[in-house]
């Protein structure tokens, strides 16, 4: 099995048959058919390995499969809530130019097709179409088992370096199989991370996480406190400012002197972080200002989550870091038979 690092990229110019004499051909499970799982699958196949991609959804694309559905618990506290994978909102356009969102072997170029989105920062549907085109071009779907969720991954005790994978099909059928290696590509924008707020259990308003934000309409005429300052917070605050009565953005990055009106909007204000919230509906900010709010919307990011993975403590998530990992991919004690593709946050994921 090669030990080369697979960040989301592929090198082959055209679809390739398996290499004639791989060093050793392994049976490899890839978990997830988003961008990371798709590119991992073709790289492994090119090296001559046999690959099975497990995908719990019914199509490729992961995050880029938009759904108007939201989870049963909009803040994401209830572990038994109905789960939705994608965190996309309807208005989302990419925040990277398409030139930075294509695999090297298959650039994300604008299509000469009136139904496609030729913009440099296209809408989310265009990214899904790109990933579907990529899948077709490299015949990746023949490797994917759709509607099959991996529920358990653990080392086989009797045989070192073998992995036992239990999966569950949507039909309810369970299966347990042995693989030589596992690559985890399950994404990290699904499990909400929320801000800790003093007094929140007494506060009477509604709370939700941006994972469950789709369209602005539910915020019509509401006073909204939105927490966060990253890409989703910026997009969503602007989206809802069109219909909400007031939007108050609270962010750790806002210092006292920068708080105040948000230019270009007469119903949006910037604040430092929330200090506390109270029974009467007030939300106090750290600079002493306060508002009476209807909703707190947490645009506060996500947690790594591998509910299926058992490594006897060798790989852990601590303070939202996965480790120990070599180059964010291989846990040294289990390499190369266990690896993670697509973990880093502040990157161009496809390059
Ligand atoms: P995902 O796309 O999340 O795919 C993971 C797959 O694993 C899913 O299909 C899921 O169903 C499957 N899965 C999970 N658990 C299991 C299991 N137990 N069994 C079987 N299958 C499982 N990136 C950019 O480059 N440009 C952007 O503009 C951009 N905008 C973004 C906007 C938002 C709101 C979000 C949330 C992300 C954005 N990203 C952007 C980052 C985006 O996540 C990456 O582009 C890329 O989609 C990540 O791919 P992935 O394969 O790692 O994960």
- From first to last of the 351 residues of the chain, give the pLDDT tens digit: 333 344 566 666 555 655 555 578 999 999 999 999 999 999 999 999 999 999 999 999 999 999 999 999 999 999 999 999 999 999 999 999 999 999 999 999 999 999 999 999 999 999 999 999 999 999 999 999 999 999 999 999 777 789 999 999 999 999 999 999 999 999 999 999 999 999 999 999 999 999 999 999 999 999 999 999 999 999 999 999 999 999 999 999 887 667 777 778 999 999 999 999 999 999 999 999 999 999 999 999 999 999 999 999 999 999 999 999 999 999 999 999 999 999 999 888 887
Return the H-helix or E-strand segment holding 46.
Answer: helix 35-46
The alpha carbon of 294 and the centre of ligand 1 are apart by a number of angstroms equal to: 31
| pLDDT value of position 204 | 98
The alpha carbon of 59 and the centre of ligand 1 are apart by a number of angstroms equal to: 13
CB 112: neighbour CB atoms within 10 A?
7
Q: What is the dihedral of CA 137, 12, 185, 174, to 10 degrees?
A: 60
Characterize the bridge pairing of strands 274-277 and 282-285. antiparallel
| pLDDT value of position 244 | 98
Sheet containing 27-31, strands listed edge to edge, beginning at the edge strand earlier in sequence? 144-145, 50-54, 27-31, 181-184, 338-340
Asked if 131 contacts 61 with a C-beta cutoff of 8 angstroms, the reply is yes
Residues 6 or more apart from 80 whose CB is under 8 A from it?
none
Residues 6 or more apart from 174 whose CB is under 8 A from it?
166, 167, 168
- Taking the CA of residue 348 as reference, the ligand 1 atom at the shortest distance is 25
The alpha carbon of 190 and the centre of ligand 1 are apart by a number of angstroms equal to: 8
- Taking the CA of residue 62 as reference, the ligand 1 atom at the shortest distance is 9
Question: Is there a cis peptide before residue 43, judged by omega within 30 degrees of 0?
Answer: no
| pLDDT value of position 3 | 38
- Taking the CA of residue 36 as reference, the ligand 1 atom at the shortest distance is 51
Backbone angles phi, psi at 227, to 5 degrees: -100, 130
Q: Which residue CA neighbors atom 8 of ligand 1 most closely?
A: 62
Looking at the DSSP bridge assignments, the partners of residue 31 are 54, 184
The alpha carbon of 63 and the centre of ligand 1 are apart by a number of angstroms equal to: 4
Residue to mutate, 56, 60, 63, ligand 1, most ligand atoms under 8 Å from C-beta = 63
| Ligand 1 environment, Cβ below 6 A | 31-37, 54-57, 62-64, 85, 87-88, 92, 94-96, 101, 149-150, 185-187, 189, 232, 308, 342, 349-350
Q: What is the dihedral of CA 43, 44, 47, 51, to 10 degrees?
A: -140
How far are the Cα atoms of 86, 102, 291 from residue 348, in angstroms, in the given order?
19, 10, 38
84: its two tokens = 């939705």
Question: Is there a cis peptide before residue 216, judged by omega within 30 degrees of 0?
Answer: no
- How far is residue 18 CA from its own chain's centroid? 30
Residues 6 or more apart from 319 whose CB is under 8 A from it?
none
Return the H-helix or E-strand segment holding 131.
Answer: helix 124-137
């Amino acid at each position: 099995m090669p030990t080369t690092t697979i960040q989301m990229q592929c090198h082959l110019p055209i679809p390739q048959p398996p290499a004639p004499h791989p060093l050793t051909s392994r049976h490899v499970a890839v978990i997830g058919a988003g961008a990371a799982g798709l590119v991992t699958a073709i790289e492994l196949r090119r090296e001559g390995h046999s690959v099975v991609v497990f995908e719990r959804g019914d199509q490729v694309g992961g995050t880029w499969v938009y759904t108007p559905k939201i989870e049963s618990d909009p803040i994401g506290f209830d572990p038994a809530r109905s789960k939705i994978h994608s965190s996309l909102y309807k208005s989302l356009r990419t925040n990277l130019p398409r030139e930075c969102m294509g695999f090297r072997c298959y650039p994300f170029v604008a299509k000469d097709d009136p139904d496609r989105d030729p913009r440099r920062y296209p809408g989310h549907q265009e990214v899904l179409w790109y990933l579907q085109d990529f899948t077709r071009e490299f015949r990746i779907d023949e490797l994917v088992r759709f509607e099959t969720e991996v529920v358990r991954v653990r080392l086989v005790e009797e045989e070192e370096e073998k992995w036992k994978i239990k999966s569950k099909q949507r039909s309810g059928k369970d299966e347990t199989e042995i693989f030589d290696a596992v690559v985890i590509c399950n994404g990290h924008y699904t499990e909400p991370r929320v801000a800790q707020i003093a007094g929140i259990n007494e506060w009477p308003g509604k709370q939700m996480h941006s994972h469950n934000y789709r369209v602005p309409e539910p915020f019509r005429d509401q006073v909204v406190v939105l927490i966060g300052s990253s890409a989703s917070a910026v997009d969503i605050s602007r989206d809802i400012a069109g219909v909400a009565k007031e939007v108050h953005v609270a962010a750790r990055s806002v210092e006292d002197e920068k708080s105040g009106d948000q230019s270009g909007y007469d119903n949006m204000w910037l604040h430092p972080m929330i200090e506390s919230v109270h029974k009467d509906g007030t939300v106090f900010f750290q600079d002493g200002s306060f508002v009476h709010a209807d909703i707190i919307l947490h645009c506060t990011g996500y947690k790594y989550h591998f509910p299926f993975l058992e490594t006897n403590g060798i790989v852990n998530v601590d303070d939202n870091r996965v480790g120990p990992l070599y180059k964010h991919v291989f846990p040294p004690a289990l390499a190369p038979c266990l690896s993670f593709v697509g973990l880093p946050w502040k990157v161009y994921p496809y390059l």
